[in-house]
Chains A and B, each alone.
Chain A
Amino acid sequence: MDLLTRLSESLQGGDADQVAELTRQALAAGLAPKPILDQGLIAGMTVVGDRFKAHEIFLPDVLLAAKAMYAGLDLLRPLLAKAGVATGGRVVIGTVRGDLHDIGKNLVAIMLRGAGLEVIDLGKDVAPERFVAAAQEHGAQVIGMSALLTTTMPVMRQVVDLCRERGLYGKVKLIVGGAPLSAEYAREIGADAYCFDGVNAVDVVKRYLGTA
């Protein structure tokens, strides 16, 4: 079994120490960081996402795999930056103003990073202006908004409206998620998609970026 396959399988097993060790070995063997990322880490996370969608593994398995992914990614990130390797895409994400629930948003951010995307996490209680300004500043292709309260859902519409005002609407994809939301609500406020979990968010974002 080659090194990158072992790396992918260690990641799928959620073995962070082993993933870090194999990533070091791959670099020591002279492999470039980009194939280690693509064929080792991202390949492993893709399998994890597929198995989760097929109900073959559980949420804790996905999150342990994500931790393992980060163990490898931490070693690769400075090398990828130094080599000028572009990320798979850029997503600005946050929990909307007035809402302090961030577990769901964190899980989505973890999965997006696991898919090789750059995630600018604005945290929680994020004002519409901050979403839009961050998307402009970082040149993001996607804005992801999370809300767990019916009282904070309307803030998502404010972000959509602000994107219209600033000429970003249609250029930046707007995705929403959270327990009280639905695809119908996303359509109603003019968002591009409703994502029901992190794995689904990865699929949706990849589709928008043309990398699915």
Chain B
Amino acid sequence: MRALFDIASDDTAPQVEQVLQAQGVPGGGGRSRSPDDAPRRERARQLALQAISLYCEQAVPRGLFDELTADAFEPLLRPGEIGDSPLRQIYPDAGALALYAVTVGEPVSELIGRLFDADDFALASMLDTAASHGAELAAQAIKARWREHLLATGRLQPTTGIMEFSPGYCGWEVTAQQPLFARLRPAEIGIALNSSFLMQPLKSVSGVLVAGDKEIFMFDPEFECCRGCQARTCVDRINSLVAESGLD
């Protein structure tokens, strides 16, 4: 099944604490030791709230998913792949796979540029952070839509987990964007790919959704690709997967 969705921008609005944390502001995990933190934290909080409000006004989130078989996915995994990777280990045991792409649209990126041009650097930076989170939340919204579809078609079990992977991460080479785009056709929701495999609008996310028994997603981050990885988001992702119920 292939499906396109418009998503309400409010549904992809990040929490103020998420934005502050990404900006390194305490309350959000920053490391300031100054005794006069409170007024500056409050000032940053007001900026974050303003940025989130602007994000909700400007964002036009859209997404799509397109289911495919493991055999059809194999060629998308292969280009440029070096060695083993978590996804290569996981996807053959998946119960279902779907390519996906989401974007929050170009207007929010244009506004970020205008704010920088107007020397409104702090708000521009805050809005950039909010939009990045917004794109990730849009991806979660598409994942939720696919989960609903799996449930409706009787493919979601209590032990089923869904995890998303994107080219450029976890050993899946970014060059895979090209075959992924050729198959998924996200131009229909306004996403283009440039020769560097960069998506435009910038605040877009693409990849594959993998559904299967939660056990298939349990891996030790000791692959070759894990050595240079500083993010290590896989640990949180696996923990979240363990915590969630397949039939929620």
Q: Which residues of A pack against B, CB within 8 Å?
A: 14, 51, 54-61, 63-64, 66-67, 70-71, 98-101, 103, 106-107, 110, 149-152
Contacts and interface: CB of A to CB of B under 8 A. Distances in A.
Nearest to A155: B196
Contacts of B120: 67
Interface in B24-44: 24-26, 30-34, 40-41, 43-44
Contacts of B33: 54-56
Interface stretch (B94-102, B145-153, B197-205, B210-218): B197-205
B174 to A, nearest CB: 6
Given A66-B121, A151-B174, A58 B24 contact: yes
Given A151-B174, A151-B197, A58 B32 contact: yes
B34 A63 contact: no
A107 B24 CA distance: 15
A-B pairs with lowest CB-CB distance, top 6: A98-B196, A63-B122, A63-B121, A56-B34, A55-B31, A60-B44
Given A63-B125, A64-B122, A103-B112, A151 B196 contact: yes
Contacts of A63: 121-122, 125
A60 B198 contact: no
B25 A58 contact: yes
A60 B126 contact: yes
Interface in B132-165: none
B47 interface: yes
Contacts of A56: 32-34
B26, B31, B196, B202 — which one has the most chain A CB atoms within 10 A of its CB? B196
Contact of A57 (B32, B174, B175, B194): B32
B114 to A, nearest CB: 12
B128 interface: yes
Contacts of A152: 196, 198
Contacts of A99: 196, 198
A70 B126 CA distance: 19
A57 B36 CA distance: 9
Contacts of B119: 66-67, 70-71
Given A14-B122, A59-B23, A67-B119, 13 more contacts: A55-B31, A59-B122, A60-B25, A60-B43, A60-B126, A63-B121, A63-B125, A67-B120, A71-B119, A98-B194, A110-B121, A149-B168, A149-B197
A60 B43 CA distance: 9
5 contacts: A56-B32, A58-B23, A61-B44, A67-B122, A107-B125
A57 B34 contact: yes
B195 interface: yes
A67 B115 CA distance: 11
Contacts of B202: 100-101
Contacts of B197: 149, 151
B200 A100 contact: yes
B116 A106 contact: yes
Given A100-B198, A101-B202, A149-B197, A58 B30 contact: yes
- Select the residue from A59, A107, A150 with max chain B CB neighbours within 10 A: A59
Given A58-B30, A60-B47, A100-B200, A149 B174 contact: yes
